[in-house]
Structure 1
Amino acid sequence: MNLSVEKINLSRTISSEIVLIIKDNLLNGSLKPGDKLPTEKELMEQLGVSRTPVREAIKILEAIGVIQIKRGKGMFITNNLSRFTLNPLIFSLIMHSNNMKRLIEFRQHFEILLLNMIITNEEKNLNKIEEVYQSQVEKMDPELSPEELAAIDLEFHYAVLEATNNPFAIEIGRTIYEIIKPNMIHFKRKSNIERTLETHKFYLELLRGNDFNPVEVVQRMIKNNEEMIE
C-alpha cells in the first residue's frame, strides 16, 4: 500500500518525520488497525530516504505500541490502538527525545511539581505510594530482566501521579514515562537497583514533610539520573 505523504520537513530528523507520517495516516484513516505496512524497502522507495531512519522510526513506533512486527509476515498496525497511543503529546515529545539531557531536566522539574502538588494538598494520602515502595523493596531482584525492573520502577511514579488527583498532571506524566520507558536500561547493575530504591525513599521523605528547597532537590535528582544513565 502507498502512504499519504506530504513533503518531509528537514528541520526535524528523518526518523521523526516518518513517525509523524504514520501517525497522520492513522488519524486521517488511510491506515487502520490490522493494516499491513509497506516493507522497509518499500518505505525507503516511497519516502525517498535511506534504510537507517526507516529502521529508527520502526523501533520508535514499535516501542510506543503503534506497530507490531510478525516474523515472516511483516509489520502491522496493532489491533489495540488506544487514545493514549495516538496522543499528540507523545509524538511531540518523540521529536525531542534524542536530547537525553533536556529530557532528564524536564522530567525532574515536572516531578518536583508533582511532589509540591501532593505536599500542598490538605487531603494528601500517601498510603498507595508507601505501599508501592514497600512492594518494590521486596520485588526488585537483579535476576529480573531490565524490562521487568523498569515496570516495577514506574509503578512508584504512577502512584505519585495518581496521588496528585489532577487529570492534567496524570495525563502529561504518563506520556513522559511512556517516552522514557524504552531508555530505562540502567537496571543491568545491582547498584542501580539500590540507587532507585534510595531515590524513591527520598521522594517519600519529601512527601512526608512540608518544606523543601526545589532547586537543591532538582539538582540532586538530575545528577542521580545522569549517573544512572552513564
Structure 2
Amino acid sequence: MEFEKLTFSNKISTEIVSTIKNKLLDGTLKNGDKLPTEAEMVEQLGVSRTPVREAIKVLESIGVIQIKRGEGMFITNNPSHFSLNPLIFSLIMHSNNTQKLVEFRQHFEILMVNIIRAKWSKEKIERIEEVYKSQVKRLKPELSPEELAAIDLEFHYAVLEATENDFVIEIGRTIYELYKPKMIVAKQSTNIQQTLQTHKAYLDLLLQKDVVVSDKQIDKMIEYNQVWLESESDSNSKL
C-alpha cells in the first residue's frame, strides 16, 4: 500500500486523514489492511513527521486505526466500526474547528436532555446521578489529564445511553471521541469544580422535566466550553 504525495489546501494532518478516508471509501484500503510505517508515510506523502503523527492520533482515537506493538498500524478489522461511515469522516474533517465543534456538541447535548425528559423515568435519572456522585469522589487534583478526561466523559456517556436512541448514541459517541483529545490537552486539576458544577447543572435540567432550556443557558454553556478549551490549550502550549 502506497500513498501519493499531497497538494495542500487545508491543514496537513486533515489532508492525511482525508487521503485515508478516500482510500477506505473507494475500497483501496479495507478492514484489516496494514498501513505503511510512520517513516514510510512521511516519505510517500512528502510531509514532515508531525502532521503524520497528528493524523494517526485522530484516526486511532476514533478506532479507524489500530496499532499493534511490534507489528505496525492496521485499519481496524471490526466491520461494524466507524471506518466506512462517511458521516464519521465528515465530522473528523471539521474537528479542528473548535468553535463549531463546541457549538454542535452543546446543542446536541440539549437535544439529549430533551429526549430524556420526553421519556422521563426515575430510574434513568438515578443512573446518571450515581455516575455524578462517583465523579465527586473520584475527580482528584493528582490525576493525569487523561484520567480526568475519562472520568468527565463517563457522565456524558451515561446521559447519552439514557436517550435510548440508537441514532443519538452513535453520533454522540463519535462527537465525544473527537472531543476527547481536546479535553486531554485542556484538562487541569484547577477546573475540576467547574466540571462538577456543569454536570450538576445537567442533572438539574433532567430533574426539572417541565422547564424549557433557554437560548441564554445554551449560549452560556457554549461560551464556557469555548473559553475553557482555548485558554487551557493556549496555556499548555506555552509550557
**Which category of TM-score, normalised to the shorter sequence, fits these structures?**
0.7 to 0.9
Instruction: Map Cα deviations across residues 29-59 of structure 1 (whole Å, 9 max, x no partner).
Output: 6454262x32344323433444443233223
Could you say which residue in structure 2 is the equivalent of 1:219?
Answer: 219
1:14 aligns with 2:1: no
C-alpha separation between the residues in 1 aligned to 2:33 and 2:204?
Answer: 47
Could you say which residue in structure 2 is the equivalent of 1:161?
Answer: 160
Deviates more, 1:179-188 or 1:131-140: 179-188
Could you say which residue in structure 1 is the equivalent of 2:102?
Answer: 104
Could you say which residue in structure 1 is the equivalent of 2:205?
Answer: 206
Could you say which residue in structure 2 is the equivalent of 1:126?
Answer: 125
Report if the CA contact (8 A) 1:39-1:74 is conserved: no
Q: CA RMSD in A?
A: 2.6
Report if the CA contact (8 A) 1:112-1:214 is conserved: no
C-alpha separation between the residues in 1 aligned to 2:41 and 2:149?
Answer: 32
Letter in 1 for 2:216: E
Aligned-pair distance for 1:101?
1.0
Q: Percent identity, aligned pairs only?
A: 57
Could you say which residue in structure 2 is the equivalent of 1:43?
Answer: 41
Could you say which residue in structure 2 is the equivalent of 1:94?
Answer: 92
Aligned-pair distance for 1:74?
7.0
The TM-score, its normalising length taken from structure 2, stands at 0.81
**How many pairs are equivalent?**
225
Deviates more, 1:195-204 or 1:121-130: 121-130
Could you say which residue in structure 2 is the equivalent of 1:117?
Answer: 115
Of the three residues 78, 83, 90, the one matched with 2:80 is 83
Higher helix content, 1 or 2: 2
C-alpha separation between the residues in 2 aligned to 1:201 and 1:17?
Answer: 39
Matched position secondary structure for 1:184: helix
C-alpha separation between the residues in 1 aligned to 2:223 and 2:90?
Answer: 25
Change (3 A) 1:47 1:227: closer
Letter in 2 for 1:207: L
Aligned-pair distance for 1:93?
1.2
C-alpha separation between the residues in 2 aligned to 1:96 and 1:42?
Answer: 26
Matched position secondary structure for 1:77: strand
Report if the CA contact (8 A) 2:135-2:151 is conserved: yes
Deviates more, 1:15-24 or 1:167-176: 15-24
C-alpha separation between the residues in 2 aligned to 1:15 and 1:200?
Answer: 33
Could you say which residue in structure 2 is the equivalent of 1:150?
Answer: 149
C-alpha separation between the residues in 1 aligned to 2:120 and 2:58?
Answer: 41
Report if the CA contact (8 A) 2:135-2:152 is conserved: yes
Letter in 2 for 1:163: A
Task: Please list every run of 5 or more consecutive structure 2 residues that lacks an aligned counterpart in the other structure.
Answer: 232-239
Task: Please list every run of 5 or more consecutive structure 1 residues that lacks an aligned counterpart in the other structure.
Answer: none
The TM-score, its normalising length taken from structure 1, stands at 0.84
Report if the CA contact (8 A) 2:102-2:222 is conserved: yes
Letter in 1 for 2:108: F
Letter in 2 for 1:187: K
Instruction: Map Cα deviations across residues 58-82 of structure 1 (whole Å, 9 max, x no partner).
Output: 23223333335567x5741166646
Instruction: Map Cα deviations across residues 189-224 of structure 1 (whole Å, 9 max, x no partner).
Output: 3x3111000000011111111113330221121122
Aligned-pair distance for 1:106?
0.8
C-alpha separation between the residues in 1 aligned to 2:159 and 2:174?
Answer: 14
C-alpha separation between the residues in 1 aligned to 2:2 and 2:33?
Answer: 16
Could you say which residue in structure 1 is the equivalent of 2:234?
Answer: none
